[in-house]
Structure 1
Amino acid sequence: MAGAEGKASDLPTRALSALVMVIVAGAALWAGGGTWALFVAAVATGVYWEWSGLVKGFATGPAQRLGWMAGGFVYIVIAATTLLILRLGQYGVSRTLLIVGIVIAIDVCAYFSGRTFGGPKIAPRLSPKKTWAGLIGGAAGAALVIAAYATWASCYDPLFGHCEFERFGKHLPLALAGGTVAAMIAQAGDFFESWMKRRAGVKDSGKLIPGHGGLFDRVDGLMALNFAVGLVGLVMLGGRVLSGAPLLPGAL
């Protein structure tokens, strides 16, 4: 009962913190350019600081600490750079909102699906509340976001081709596949951070955000998804270099 009362009393703080985060992030995204770059750099720096704190909690020696710090630097830089690149061009805002919307849909749908259906846990030792039903719900939510965006973008974003508003269902099969992959990656990012925290013996990655913990706690899934997208982008970029094609597609 005391725990429930504590969570209820913390709700206004959590809501206010969430509202401030949305306003600041939304304003930076809309402004773009240097403002967006500074915002992403600030978040990346904060996450790396929290990463270093977790590593200090479980690294057993200088070599292991150095390896974790180097790996974290690469991981965070690729994820942050992906966010910066997504924002480029006329359709940068919508493309950035797509990947953010996918992660939000995964979190929200996984939460409600898990609470509604329950069932077997995915990794109870790492995250005791995550269920397979939640993962399926998260994948479905991500699929709907992807299909809706593809339908809209086919009329406005040249990267997606011709206008097909009336053919939402056409995008669902591929969107379901993409949503499933996205949900698995986002959940893996969540489990990975939970594993780091468990090894470090802490509940939250930091205390920067009142009622929410640290930055890493809030963007673990988004970072994992951006990292995966960034790796795919690097592979595609390598292919364009080898083929002699322009480095940036004309649609950007």
Structure 2
Amino acid sequence: MLRQRIITALLLLAVLLPALFYSDTRPFTALSLLLVMTGAWEWARLNGCRPGVSLALGLLLGLAMALFWFLGGLDRSWRVGWIVVGLLWVALAFGMLARGVAGWSNWPFLPRLWVGLFLICCAWLALVQARQLGLAFLLSVLMLVWMADVAAYFGGKAFGRRKLAPSVSPAKSWEGAISGLIGVCLLAACWLWADAGGLGDRSSLYGRLWQMGPLWAAVSLFFLVAMSVVGDLLESLVKRSAGVKDSSQLLPGHGGVLDRVDALLPVLPLAMMLVSL
């Protein structure tokens, strides 16, 4: 399993990193559009759609987003849209976690299917526009999620006692979540220190939030870390309701695309919202 995970990760990095660091954002946009299509396919499957219908939805959503790109949608400001998406994510966090695993299947089929597809598209739009704001900005958002996840894993292993959401994700603990927050705060402090030393251009998420005020930066980081945990929990909730361990087996050793980006789905649009206010 470990060997599979390493090989898959190396292959993904070999494809993603050149596109990510290339000065023209179009290759990265096109490559990330494939993630939208596979994520939509997985989401349809998790919600009980037949294989053919799931594949068709993934392809149609990819074509719709490609048309959106062609018509200039990626170059427009979506400031109000990010606020709406942010409120939707907060509402889903309270609603879905309150109703639990059993309650998810009682939600009407079409709303839960299409809201999920809509949020996947919003995450893609936020991903692309974050790259347009600068490589440092996108990397800082990605590293926030990765740091929160890694620090939570090790903090939970070392100190975990009180379960965060035992019916949804038994392995998560409050101690792990707090460790994730501490890790992100340390990351932000190091990034700001590097910026102050002339090693950065202050265009990162942390630099932009700090320029809006230390209190705003602290509250924003807390909110983003909390929502990264929410994204992970909500995908776990949906998978438990569907009776599956992974969203798919598309990435050997890693599960599916949604398994890898679940925490990013809320964080990307919320990061765009916070720096746009």
The normalised TM-score by structure 2 is: 0.70
Q: Which of 133, 145, 148 matches 2:190?
A: 148
Say yes or no: does 1:105 pair with 2:143.
Answer: no
5+ residue gaps, structure 1: 1-9, 164-170, 237-252
Q: CA RMSD in A?
A: 2.7
Deviation at 1:228, TM superposition (A): 1.9
**How far apart in 2 are the matches of 1:35 and 1:142?**
29
Describe the superposition over 1:129-181 as per-residue Cα deviations: whole angstroms up to 9, x where unpaired.
00011001100111122222233345442557xx9xxxxxxx98765544322
8 Å Cα contact 2:130-2:272 kept in structure 1? no
The one-letter code sitting in structure 1 at the alignment partner of 2:122 is: I
Task: Label 1:60 to 1:87 Cα distance change in 2 as closer, same or farther (>3 A).
Answer: closer
What is residue 84 of structure 1 aligned with on the other side? 128
TM-score w.r.t. the length of structure 1 is 0.76
> Are the counterparts in 1 of residues 231 and 265 from structure 2 also a CA contact under 8 Å?
yes
Is the aligned partner of 1:33 residue 2:77? no
Between Structure 1 and Structure 2, how many residues are aligned? 215
Could you tell me how far 1:40 is from its partner in structure 2? 1.4
Q: How does 1:37-76 map to 2 (within 5 A)?
A: 37-56=29-48, 64-76=108-120
Match of 2:242, as an amino acid?
Answer: A
- The 3-state SS of whatever aligns with 1:122 is strand
Aligned to 2:247: 205
Q: CA deviation at 1:196?
A: 0.5
| Deviation digits for residues 111-132 of structure 1 (CA, Å, limit 9, x no counterpart) | 0000001210100111010001
Q: Which one scores higher on RCO, CA 8 angstroms, separation ≥ 6? A: 2
User: Aligned in 2, Cα 1:175/1:110: closer, same or farther, shift over 3 Å?
Assistant: farther
Distance 2:216 2:138 in 1: 20
| The structure with more radius of gyration | 1
Of all paired residues, the percent bearing the same amino acid is 31
Could you list the per-position Cα deviations for residues 72-97 of structure 1 after superposition, in whole angstroms to 9, with x for gaps in the alignment?
A: 122111111111111115xx111111
Deviations 1:7-41 (A, max 9, x none): xxx11111111222233222221124211101111
User: Runs in 1 of length 4+ with deviation above 6 angstroms?
Assistant: 57-61, 171-174
Unpaired runs of at least 5, structure 2:
50-101, 208-212
